[in-house]
């Protein structure tokens, strides 16, 4: 059980202007294989979370959104290997919010690592020469060491806000030398890398930032590709190129320091039409999340845009609190599923741009995902529109005339705002009335985290990975567990999954657990939409990649460069 990461010896060189011009003159159009990178310019992006402002700058607050915002200037131990992205001729799209295939992981701060037994531990050798930049009033520039890793992770372990059971399998973390970190485990955990490696809460940062006030964006300072220089609430986050960033990559046999752009601007735009206008006019270089309904119009008005389509790595559903009447009765929950015409939502609401069945597992999870036609009849019938049987089940449960129930919707999720009334219309036909409460992002997630959400809640929740999607939705004390699912037998089976080292056996276990939650219907399972991404052709070395780890945009954008000549040629 020993594996060492192959060391990469890369020399930093810069392409000359003559080389770039020669490449352009040759008519090269393949960014990954033929064109050479260009330095400079500003990359303005609209991410998947374009409507959402930062909620926290502190990793120990355990807020998923902070990982997106701090991931430009903090580093992690491991990262998705973007050399295997489709932009570089590889097999992977890098769309998942947290999941990485086993052969698509490389070291970030880690130069090498190996597993050892008795006691079970992970030995990690860090890169040498990784530097924190100088930050007036916060710290002077210094090298990142093993003590910074131990400090960051120990602070995470001690946080009162930490997600329950997330890292309870870790015994302790020690720095054995300046560049060697050892993580001791109480027992094996199959999700070890995502939990503490490339995952959402795995950032490494200096103690000086905490001492200066880590919750203040003005104090931010890390070893990542960018430096946060400005934040305008509700408008934008601006990051400048970190001139002493350790990242390097090789193109056409030449080595380059990353990132390529001088400035990265992450836009916050709540209005959907304003997002599309910014893309169409070139104020956005790329927009990662676009509804299918506007794609044709954008293609007509901006025909030079490049496109990709991908199945969302987040499920849509109406959760039902199983500890609250009437949802403590499985007949009610199953009736609500049968009362909603999911196929019609796919064809009419989404125009065919959705999958009726793609949650809680995602089709990208080869082996773990089972298509609907492979499921038992007790699950398949939940996806068939059958209002007569729904009424029968409601009557059997003691609700022949239906009932009224309060449901909450976050205004931060545009498609859920639209889907809510549509679902309510179906349910009204069987006597169920939904009373909507619209909430802004902060109070919505505050209620969810505190376990004080309404009996019903419309939610768009990320998958995370084959086991993560089950853990976050159906294990106790998980803030995404909006149905308040509580089943000791299920918990015991999940613990067995975590400790199972054989991948084939683990996959079988996860498939069985997925069937179990589907059949018990804690949610009204809704279709998963296809999402479109678009970018201008001057955005090079990009094919629609989104994440290279848990909610981690930074590694994607550090590899992008701007073709300044082409941009001017297109009139921008």
Report the SS3 class of residue 199: coil
The domain limits of the chain are 17-293+536-569, 314-529
**Whole-number Å distance between alpha carbons of 156 and 58:** 10
Are 471 and 360 in contact by the 8 Å Cβ rule? The answer is no
Cα distances (Å, whole numbers) of residue 339 to 42, 400, 512, 519: 50, 14, 26, 16
* Domain with residues 17-293+536-569, CATH architecture: 3-Layer(aba) Sandwich (3.40)
Q: Which two tokens stand for residue 410?
A: 């976050």
Give ∠ CA 344-350-352 in degrees, rounded to 5: 75
Rg (C-alpha) for the chain, rounded Å, is: 24
- One fold for both 17-293+536-569 and 314-529? no
Global pTM? 0.85
User: Can you give the pLDDT of all 572 residues of the chain as single tens digits?
Assistant: 333 223 222 222 223 223 323 333 333 334 344 689 999 999 999 999 999 999 999 999 999 899 999 999 999 999 999 999 988 889 999 999 999 988 999 999 999 999 999 999 999 999 999 999 999 999 999 999 999 999 999 999 999 999 888 899 999 999 999 999 999 999 999 999 999 999 999 999 999 999 999 999 999 999 999 999 999 999 999 999 999 999 999 998 999 999 999 999 999 999 999 999 999 999 999 999 999 999 999 999 999 999 999 999 999 999 999 999 999 999 999 999 999 999 999 999 999 999 999 999 999 998 899 999 999 999 999 999 999 999 999 999 999 999 999 999 998 777 788 899 999 999 999 999 999 999 988 899 899 888 999 999 999 998 989 999 999 999 998 989 999 999 999 999 999 999 999 999 999 999 999 999 999 999 999 999 999 999 999 999 999 999 999 999 999 999 999 999 999 999 99
What CATH number matches the domain at 314-529, 3.10.105.10, 3.40.630.10, 3.40.1400.10, 3.40.50.300? Answer: 3.10.105.10
**Whole-number Å distance between alpha carbons of 556 and 47:** 11
Provide the pLDDT for residue 292: 93
CA atoms within 13 A on the CB side of 147: 7
Q: What are phi and psi of 542, to 5 degrees?
A: -145, 130
Q: Which two tokens stand for residue 472?
A: 């976050």
């Amino acid at each position: 059980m020993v594996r060492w990461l192959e060391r990469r010896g890369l020399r930093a060189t810069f392409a000359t202007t003559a080389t770039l011009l020669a490449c352009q003159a040759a008519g090269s159009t393949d960014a990954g294989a033929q064109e050479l990178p260009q330095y400079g310019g500003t990359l303005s992006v609209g991410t998947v979370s374009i409507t959402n402002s930062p909620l926290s700058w502190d990793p120990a607050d355990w807020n998923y959104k902070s990982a997106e915002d701090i991931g430009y200037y903090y580093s992690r131990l491991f990262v998705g290997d973007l050399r295997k992205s489709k932009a570089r001729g590889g097999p992977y799209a890098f769309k998942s919010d947290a999941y990485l295939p086993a052969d698509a992981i490389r070291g970030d701060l880690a130069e090498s690592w190996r597993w050892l037994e008795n006691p079970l531990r992970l030995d990690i050798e860090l890169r040498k020469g990784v530097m924190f930049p100088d930050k007036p009033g916060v710290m002077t520039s210094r090298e990142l060491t093993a003590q910074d890793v131990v400090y960051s992770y120990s602070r995470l372990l001690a946080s009162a806000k930490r997600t329950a059971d997330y890292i309870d399998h870790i015994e302790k973390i020690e720095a054995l030398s300046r560049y060697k970190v050892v993580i001791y485990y109480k027992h094996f955990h199959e999700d070890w890398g995502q939990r503490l490696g490339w995952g959402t809460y795995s950032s490494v940062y200096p103690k000086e930032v905490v001492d200066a006030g880590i919750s203040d964006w003005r104090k931010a300072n890390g070893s990542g590709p960018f430096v946060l220089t400005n934040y305008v609430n509700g408008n934008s986050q601006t990051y400048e190129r970190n001139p002493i960033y350790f990242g390097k990559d090789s193109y056409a046999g030449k080595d380059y320091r990353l990132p390529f752009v001088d400035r990265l601007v992450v836009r916050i735009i709540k209005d959907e039409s304003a997002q599309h206008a910014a893309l169409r006019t070139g104020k956005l270089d790329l927009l990662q999340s676009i509804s299918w309904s506007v794609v044709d119009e954008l293609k007509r008005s901006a025909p030079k845009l490049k496109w990709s389509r991908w199945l969302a790595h987040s499920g849509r559903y109406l959760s039902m609190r199983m500890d609250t009447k009437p949802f403590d009765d499985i007949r009610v929950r199953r009736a609500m599923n049968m009362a909603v015409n999911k196929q019609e939502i796919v064809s009419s609401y989404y125009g065919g741009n959705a999958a009726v069945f793609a949650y809680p597992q995602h089709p990208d999870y080869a082996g773990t995902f089972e298509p609907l036609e492979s499921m038992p009849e007790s699950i398949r019938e939940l996806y068939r529109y059958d209002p007569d049987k729904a009424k029968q089940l409601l009557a059997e449960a003691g609700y022949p005339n239906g009932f009224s129930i309060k449901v909450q919707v976050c205004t931060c999720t545009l498609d859920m705002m639209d889907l809510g009334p549509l679902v309510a219309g179906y349910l009204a036909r069987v006597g169920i009335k939904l009373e909507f409460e619209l909430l802004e992002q902060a109070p919505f997630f505050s209620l969810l985290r505190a376990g004080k959400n309404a009996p019903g809640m419309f939610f768009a929740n990320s998958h995370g990975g084959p086991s993560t999607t089950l853990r976050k939705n159906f294990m106790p004390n998980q803030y995404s567990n909006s149905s308040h699912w509580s089943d000791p037998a299920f918990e015991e089976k999940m613990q067995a999954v975590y400790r199972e080292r054989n991948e084939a056996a683990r996959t079988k276990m996860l498939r069985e657990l997925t069937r179990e939650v589907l059949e018990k219907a804690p949610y009204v399972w809704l279709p998963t939409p296809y999402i479109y991404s678009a970018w201008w052709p001057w955005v090079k070395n990009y094919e629609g990649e989104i994440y290279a780890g848990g909610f981690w945009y930074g590694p994607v954008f550090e590899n992008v460069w701007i073709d300044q000549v082409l941009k001017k040629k297109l009139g921008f």
